[in-house]
Chains A and B, each alone.
Chain A
Amino acid sequence: MFVNSNFKKKKTKLSENGTSQQQSMNMKEKGLYGSSMIRIETKNLYVKYGTTIGVNNVSVPIYNGNVTALVGPSGCGKTTFLRALNRMHDLSRDAVVTGKVLLDDLNIYDPKVNPVSIRRKIGMVFQKPTPFPTMSIFDNVVAGLKLVGIKDKKFLNEVCEKALIQAALFDEVKDRLNNPGGSLSGGQQQRLSIARALAIEPEVLLMDEPTSSLDPKSTLKIEDLMVELKKNYSIVIVTHNLAQAGRISDYSIFMYLGDMIEFGKTKDMFQNPKDKRTEEYLTGKFG
Chain B
Amino acid sequence: MHQAQTNTDIIKKPLPIIYRWLGDKIFLTVVFILGLSIIFLAFSMAWVLYSEGRLAINEFGVIGFLKGSVWDPGVRMVFGALPFIFGTFITSVVALAIAFLPAIAIAVVIAEYAPKWIGNIIENFVHLIAAIPSVVVGIWGIFVFAPWMRETVYMPIFTFTANNYPSLLPVLGNPMGYGMTTATIILALMIIPFTTALTRDAISQVPKEQREAAWALGATKWEVIRMAVLPYARGGILAGAMLSFGRAIGETMAVAMLIGNKNTFPFSILGPAATMPSVIINEFREAVGNLHLSSLMAIGLALFVISLIVNLIAAYITRKLSITGGQVV
Contacts and interface: CB of A to CB of B under 8 A. Distances in A.
Interface of A: 86, 88, 91, 116-117, 119-120, 123-124, 126, 128-135, 143-144, 147-148, 182, 184-186, 189, 193, 196-197, 200, 213
A116 B219 contact: yes
Given A182-B327, A200-B217, 16 more contacts: A116-B218, A119-B215, A120-B218, A123-B216, A124-B216, A126-B213, A128-B329, A130-B210, A143-B214, A144-B218, A147-B219, A147-B227, A186-B327, A193-B213, A196-B217, A200-B218
Contacts of A116: 218-220
A129 B219 CA distance: 18
Given A91-B212, A130-B209, A134-B323, A143 B234 contact: no
* 5 cross-chain pairs, A with B, having the tightest CB-CB distances, nearest first: A120-B218, A130-B213, A124-B216, A144-B217, A134-B231
Contacts of A120: 217-218
Given A144-B218, A147-B219, A133 B327 contact: yes
B228 interface: yes
A119 B328 contact: no
Contacts of B72: none
A85 to B, nearest CB: 11
B327 A189 contact: yes
B218 A117 contact: yes
B323 A133 contact: yes
A186 B212 CA distance: 18
A197 B216 CA distance: 8
Nearest to B327: A129
A133 B217 contact: no
24 contacts: A88-B212, A88-B215, A91-B211, A116-B218, A123-B217, A124-B212, A132-B214, A132-B227, A132-B228, A132-B231, A133-B323, A133-B326, A133-B327, A144-B217, A144-B218, A147-B217, A148-B218, A182-B323, A182-B326, A185-B328, A186-B327, A186-B329, A189-B329, A196-B213
A128 B327 contact: yes
B212 A135 contact: no
B215 A91 contact: yes
A88 B216 contact: yes
B234 A134 contact: yes
Given A132-B210, A197-B216, A143 B328 contact: no
Nearest to A134: B231
A197 B212 contact: no
A91 B232 CA distance: 19
A213 B328 CA distance: 10
Nearest to A124: B216
Given A116-B219, A120-B218, A133 B329 contact: no
Given A184-B328, A213-B329, A128 B209 contact: yes
B151 interface: no
A238 to B, nearest CB: 14
A123 B219 CA distance: 12
Nearest to A145: B217
Nearest to B208: A91
